[in-house]
Amino acid sequence: MTQITIPRPDDWHLHLRDGEMLKAVAPQTAQHFARAIIMPNLVPPVVTGAQASAYRDRILAALPEGSTFEPLMVLYLTEDTDPKDVAAAHASGLVKAVKLYPAGATTNSNSGVRNFDNVRPVLEKMAEIGLPLCVHGEVTTHEVDIFDREATFIDTVLDPLRKATPGLRVVMEHITTKEGVDYVSAQGSDMGGTITTHHLIINRNHILVGGIKPHYYCLPVAKREIHRRALVEAATSGNPHFFLGTDSAPHTDDAKESPCGCAGCFTATNTMQLLAHVFDAEGKLNALTKFASENGPKFYGLPVNTNSLTLTKKSETATWPSKIASAAGPVTVFDPGFPVYWHIEN
Ligand code: DOR
Ligand code: ZN
């Protein structure tokens, strides 16, 4: 097959930031995607319905003229989050999920959750109203090796939390391990898992062999090849538990190429071309529709987009800018390290 047309894809995990960075990166996602779940880890975080509404307005203002891109807003769960505010923001249609960051797990997660008992009332309200919880699935315990933090989180936090809150819809985000794939697959339809573009492409050798590659560093960090293979098999299986969440996370080059570089891969620009390559290489191009366009809306109870995106495989390589300019500085676009022949037609 050299051409595929899919319903317009959505991104179920995206960082758009704010200010000058937002203006630079929002058009990149809006080029190819109809909707995206917008991460709330700004400084200060997007905690209340009022903050989400104001942030949504800033996103819409940053879109190109005539864009129909729809930001799906998310509240940042803190130990002070008010269940009534969450319920009102959901009832108004503004908010589509709540995000759980274990405190200290990643970029701007300091306002996240330390004591899970303190967020029980919010989780119970969310289970009652059917509002999904998006989870950054890593423990932050110093003694736990960074490569084991996802698997440990499943056993010690995620599974107990789900058992204590029956009916809560949960997305385990950016899964990076076979354990993550196995856990999510074994659950019912109240559990989903997002997979990023970069975790389908790189393993930990790509980050560390032959010199340290700061633009491949993200959290959760890429794991061994057996885990990458498990992710590729899950994404290309068509299994409704799994859908695309790019975790495209822009940082300026000076923040990435630093003695203490930030975590995040910026893939908004070339995700769809890269996914077509990965699915084609597996002989599973037809499963791209489910992964990028159907399974996510189904989990969130939203309609599949009615417009489409066409990708064509050509003899010449696909190109994209290597960096996106922003007034805050350049942002490097994820480089898969191999030539890609899939081009976007519309
Ligand atoms: O690599 C990451 N970057 N992982 C996250 O969880 C957060 C994100 C960011 O905001 O930069
Ligand atoms: Zn993220």
The sign of the torsion formed by the CA atoms of 189, 200, 32, 7 equals negative
Is there a contact between 243 and 194 (Cβ–Cβ < 8 Å)?
A: yes
Residue 218 in contact with ligand 1 by CB distance below 6 A: yes
Q: Mind listing the domains of the chain with CATH numbers?
A: 3-344 (3.20.20.140)
Is there a contact between 95 and 52 (Cβ–Cβ < 8 Å)?
A: yes
**Atom 7 (ligand 1): residue with closest C-alpha?**
107
Please give the pLDDT value at position 42.
Answer: 96
Amino acid of residue 196: T
Gap between the Cα atoms of 36 and 114, Å rounded:
28
Please give the pLDDT value at position 223.
Answer: 98
Please give the pLDDT value at position 309.
Answer: 98
Please give the pLDDT value at position 107.
Answer: 76
Question: For the purposes of burial, counting CB atoms within 10 Å of the CB of 315, is it exposed (0-12), middle (13-18) or buried (19 or more)?
Answer: exposed
For ligand 1, the distance from its centroid to the CA atom of residue 346, given in whole angstroms, is 29
Q: What angle do CA 163, 169, 173 make, to 5 degrees?
A: 100
Please give the pLDDT value at position 111.
Answer: 86
Please give the pLDDT value at position 120.
Answer: 95
Residue 252 in contact with ligand 1 by CB distance below 6 A: no
Residue 248 in contact with ligand 1 by CB distance below 6 A: no
For ligand 1, the distance from its centroid to the CA atom of residue 176, given in whole angstroms, is 13
Please give the pLDDT value at position 52.
Answer: 98
Gap between the Cα atoms of 288 and 266, Å rounded:
20
Please give the pLDDT value at position 275.
Answer: 98
Residue 221 in contact with ligand 1 by CB distance below 6 A: no
In this prediction the pTM is 0.97
Backbone φ and ψ for 125, nearest 5 degrees, come out as -65, -40
For ligand 1, the distance from its centroid to the CA atom of residue 43, given in whole angstroms, is 13
Active-site pick, 57, 247, 253, 254 = 247
Among residues 266, 265, 285, the alpha carbon closest in space to that of 276 is found at 285
Q: Per-residue pLDDT for the chain (346 aa), expressed as one digit of tens each?
A: 799 999 999 999 999 999 999 999 999 999 999 999 999 999 999 999 999 999 999 999 999 999 999 999 999 999 999 999 999 999 999 999 999 998 887 778 888 999 988 999 999 999 999 999 999 999 999 999 999 999 999 999 999 999 999 999 999 999 999 999 999 999 999 999 999 999 999 999 999 999 999 999 999 999 999 999 999 999 999 999 999 999 999 999 999 999 999 999 999 999 999 999 999 999 999 999 999 999 999 999 999 999 999 999 999 999 999 999 999 999 999 999 999 999 999 7
Amino acid of residue 335: D
DSSP strand pairing (3-7 vs 308-313): antiparallel
Residues in the chain: 346
